[in-house]
Chains A and B, each alone.
Chain A
């Protein structure tokens, strides 16, 4: 059962297309990463899914209904964390959450448990004014978790968080996904999404350029495994007859090899057999970053990296 179905959706603002020919389906309980440049249309897509904007053409179905005309019971099943949200400075964290709980038709008695879950209990009685960026973001997550939503949308949830907080943030999200909540989150910090999402949707200039699970996208993209070998770079290059060699460091101490996914093990064995000549190996499969650059097109040469000779 798809919890979100998007068919050939187009959205224009003042005649200018922001989204075009978007189509995908998200099964219930999956965690989806929405990836794209600023201005690629991620936030607009989220607004369409939330029913805050209507598509110019095409069809959307979320939780079995059209979000733009859905009634309140639809929105009771949603959780949303906008990209930029500034809560009222003068209210305490607990009061802020209680306000949002009442709007969702819940009693404020559920708030302490949620504050505990996002690790804000210690500051519940403090005014939001005194909160750090990370604490504000956790308060934002707390309001999104009210009423155990079936669908959770998080727009750039980890921007401005330090690595420790990001880690905690993703732990909470993973617990939710494990409990069956469908999570959609957008980000441009891609590496952190890697191990934590089931599906990736890559957007570029209002179009969906790739959608699928990460392994599938890797296969489809056919990106090379990057291997960095340390040792006598010249000797290694000779042994490989120059095949797959991408670059040799000027000091001749390390060499970069781009190897097709299928030939990885053979190459690693060859290098291991070189003994003293090759002292260290670093094998890196194509990351979400690489996939993103591949699918968003042209960015590799723009980054100044020469293509493999």
Chain B
């Protein structure tokens, strides 16, 4: 237990030292601020959007950004240590492999959480302060932050899975980028393509469950359909009728996307020989 804290602490401090925390926080904050306050700049009209609109635009952006940050943060967690020779050394220490992988994961998770909460939190607070958010908008915004953290953890867990199964860092980078392309770009295109090709013969039930197989889609569903008045802005009213899952279920699926790859990674790592 103590070792988990030591690993997590080291990983987090490394993140502070090499500016991962500062960089990710600033990036998220800057984009959230931009979407909140300059959202209508192209029309020449600068005004402040209500919090609900912020939730829609920020979550659309998050889908691209957070998975990439998480994958880049985590892909070399194990394989990188292995390549530098540190893993061999760590394994001769009185620590278990589970403690190594869990400790490092918690450290990286803390980096993502801090960046998300501080970055989006600042923008959200500013937006609410200048326009005054109603209670439901606030709930939606808190939901945005919570689900963004979970989305980050899901892709972090996938990155750890990659890091455990490959033997070279370069392979891990390739797989991480490939995974991002697959889940963020290809999956939705393929889904839409098959919908069109089958002329709607794919039942809405199957379509909805296919969405659950992609953590990014789960995140999208959660943020765009969970709250009544956001559905109006997001244009998801049609979809939400056919693919309506209770928000708690969506969050649980997202959490499962974090837990299952990490558990798989841990069990593979535990059985592997040095």
**Which of the listed residues A75, A84, A103 has the most CB atoms from chain B within 10 Å of its own CB?**
A103
Choice from A54, A73, A82, A90 contacting B89 with Cβ under 8 Å: A82
B9-23 to A contact mask, C-beta < 8 Å, 1/0: 010001001100000
Interface residues of A in 54-95 (CB under 8 A from B): 54, 72-73, 75-76, 78, 80, 82-88, 90-91
- State the 6 A-B residue pairs at the shortest beta-carbon distance, nearest first: A72-B94, A52-B274, A85-B85, A86-B84, A80-B92, A75-B94
Interface size class of B (residues with CB under 8 A): 20 to 34
Within 8 Å CB of B198, what residues of A?
none
| Chain A residue nearest to B273 in the complex (CB) | A53
Interface size class of A (residues with CB under 8 A): 20 to 34
CA A205 to CA B196, docked complex, whole Å: 63
Q: Are B273 and A82 in contact (CB under 8 A)?
A: no
CA A208 to CA B89, docked complex, whole Å: 25
B135-176 to A contact mask, C-beta < 8 Å, 1/0: 000000000000000000000000000000000000000000
Given A47-B274, A90-B17, A99-B6, are A52 and B88 neighbors across the interface (CB < 8 Å)?
Answer: yes
Q: How far is the CB of A10 from chain B (nearest CB, A)?
A: 15
- Given A54-B273, A72-B94, 6 additional A-B pairs, CB 8 A: A72-B95, A76-B94, A82-B89, A85-B86, A103-B90, A105-B2
User: Cβ of B129 < 8 Å from any Cβ of A?
Assistant: no
Q: Are A78 and B85 in contact (CB under 8 A)?
A: no
CA A91 to CA B18, docked complex, whole Å: 10
CA A260 to CA B85, docked complex, whole Å: 46
User: Cβ of B189 < 8 Å from any Cβ of A?
Assistant: no
Within 8 Å CB of B86, what residues of A?
85-87
CA A83 to CA B85, docked complex, whole Å: 8
| Chain B residue nearest to A87 in the complex (CB) | B86
Choice from B2, B18, B88 contacting A82 with Cβ under 8 Å: B88
Q: Are A84 and B85 in contact (CB under 8 A)?
A: yes
Within 8 Å CB of B273, what residues of A?
52-54
User: Cβ of A50 < 8 Å from any Cβ of B?
Assistant: yes
Interface residues of B in 1-38 (CB under 8 A from A): 2-3, 6, 10, 14, 17-18
**Which of the listed residues B93, B95, B273 has the most CB atoms from chain A within 10 Å of its own CB?**
B93
Q: Are B6 and A102 in contact (CB under 8 A)?
A: yes
Given A52-B273, A84-B85, A90-B17, are A104 and B93 neighbors across the interface (CB < 8 Å)?
Answer: yes
User: Cβ of B256 < 8 Å from any Cβ of A?
Assistant: no
Q: Are B274 and A53 in contact (CB under 8 A)?
A: yes
CA A73 to CA B93, docked complex, whole Å: 10
User: Cβ of A100 < 8 Å from any Cβ of B?
Assistant: yes
User: Cβ of B46 < 8 Å from any Cβ of A?
Assistant: no
Within 8 Å CB of B89, what residues of A?
80, 82, 85, 143
User: Cβ of B91 < 8 Å from any Cβ of A?
Assistant: yes
| Chain B residue nearest to A84 in the complex (CB) | B85
Q: Are B94 and A104 in contact (CB under 8 A)?
A: yes
| Chain A residue nearest to B84 in the complex (CB) | A86
CA A178 to CA B17, docked complex, whole Å: 41
Within 8 Å CB of B10, what residues of A?
99
CA A47 to CA B84, docked complex, whole Å: 17
A138-173 to B contact mask, C-beta < 8 Å, 1/0: 000001000000000000000000000000000000
Within 8 Å CB of A90, what residues of B?
14, 17-18
CA A84 to CA B89, docked complex, whole Å: 10
| Chain A residue nearest to B86 in the complex (CB) | A85
| Chain A residue nearest to B6 in the complex (CB) | A102
CA A99 to CA B104, docked complex, whole Å: 13
Q: Are B92 and A73 in contact (CB under 8 A)?
A: no
Q: Are B92 and A78 in contact (CB under 8 A)?
A: yes
CA A47 to CA B94, docked complex, whole Å: 15
Within 8 Å CB of A54, what residues of B?
273
